[in-house]
């Protein structure tokens, strides 16, 4: 099953993380932020060290590795019953960040909308990144050289992702508005999608549900019998 997903997209400092965190608290949505997943890795591990090597220079972690880590994370969340793809919409924050990643994820995610947080005011974004670096101990945003590099990488490698998805899936929201206004605009898009998803589940043929539940129970019985 491909996960029904919304992609929160925008330059570093555009507010994706803030909005993603709020949306993740709403029942029916699951927020996954690649930056947070990477930062939670053990610094002694090879993957943790690789992450800091790239992030510390304002660069992206290589595509194959990023997608591998993310797929492992989301599968894990599903297995421990934190993420329920049948009933929840996945809020993707920070992935896919390159066209290659979008291609590698094609078999796993079904991106129904791309929410593009647009911010043309470079100074404002840099200011936000500096403030966040202080507040959240984000070493990758601690100096201006790294910040500029990150914005440059966004323009070069990430912005083309917007051309990868069909234009009718892309919604532009002005990121310089207040947080609550941005949230309101996002919810205007998400609420109908969620209701449609719930409606489709409710109207599912009851026979089909019984059939799939029975199949799952039999598969489980088979594994425990082994
Ligand atoms: P921001 O929210 O400021 O855009 P993140 O917290 O999402 O930044 O990411 C921090 C760092 O983690 C990035 O600079 C990059 O090194 C790495 N990273 C996060 N997501 C990805 C990704 N999809 N592909 C490659 N590297 C990533």
Nearest in space to 15 (alpha carbons), one of 148, 133, 125, 145: 125
- The answer to whether the CB of 185 is under 6 A from ligand 1 is no
Nearest in space to 114 (alpha carbons), one of 62, 69, 173, 34: 173
CA of 150 to the centre of ligand 1 (A): 9
Res 180 pLDDT > 50? yes
Query: Which pLDDT belongs to residue 134?
Result: 77
Ligand 1 probe mutation, 8, 9, 34, most atoms within 8 A of CB: 34
- The answer to whether the CB of 94 is under 6 A from ligand 1 is yes
CA of 196 to the centre of ligand 1 (A): 31
Taking only the tens place, the pLDDT of each residue in 83-138 is: 999 999 999 999 999 999 999 999 999 999 999 999 888 888 888 888 877 777 76
Residue 73 CB neighbours (<10 A) = 17
Report the CATH fold assignment for 3-190+197-225.
Answer: Rossmann fold (3.40.50)
């Amino acid at each position: 099953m491909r996960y029904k997903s919304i992609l929160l997209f925008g330059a570093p400092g555009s507010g994706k993380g803030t909005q993603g965190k709020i949306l993740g608290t709403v029942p029916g949505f699951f927020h996954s932020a690649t930056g947070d997943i990477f930062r939670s890795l053990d610094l002694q591990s090879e993957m943790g060290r690789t992450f800091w090597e790239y992030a510390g220079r304002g660069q992206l972690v290589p595509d194959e590795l990023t997608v591998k880590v993310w797929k492992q994370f989301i599968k894990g969340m599903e297995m421990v019953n934190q993420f329920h793809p049948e009933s929840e919409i996945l809020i993707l924050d920070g992935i896919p960040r390159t066209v290659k990643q979008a291609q590698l994820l094609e078999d796993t995610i079904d991106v129904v909308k791309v929410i593009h947080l647009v911010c043309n005011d470079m100074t404002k974004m840099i200011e936000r990144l500096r403030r966040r670096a202080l507040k959240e101990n984000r070493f990758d945003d601690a100096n201006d050289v790294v910040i500029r590099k990150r914005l440059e990488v966004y323009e070069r490698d990430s912005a083309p992702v917007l051309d990868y998805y069909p234009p009718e899936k892309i919604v532009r929201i002005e990121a310089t508005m207040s947080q609550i206004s941005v949230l309101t605009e996002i919810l205007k898009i998400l609420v109908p999608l969620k209701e449609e998803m719930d409606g489709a589940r409710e109207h599912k043929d009851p026979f089909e549900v019984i059939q799939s539940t029975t199949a799952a129970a039999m598969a489980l019985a088979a594994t425990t019998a082994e």
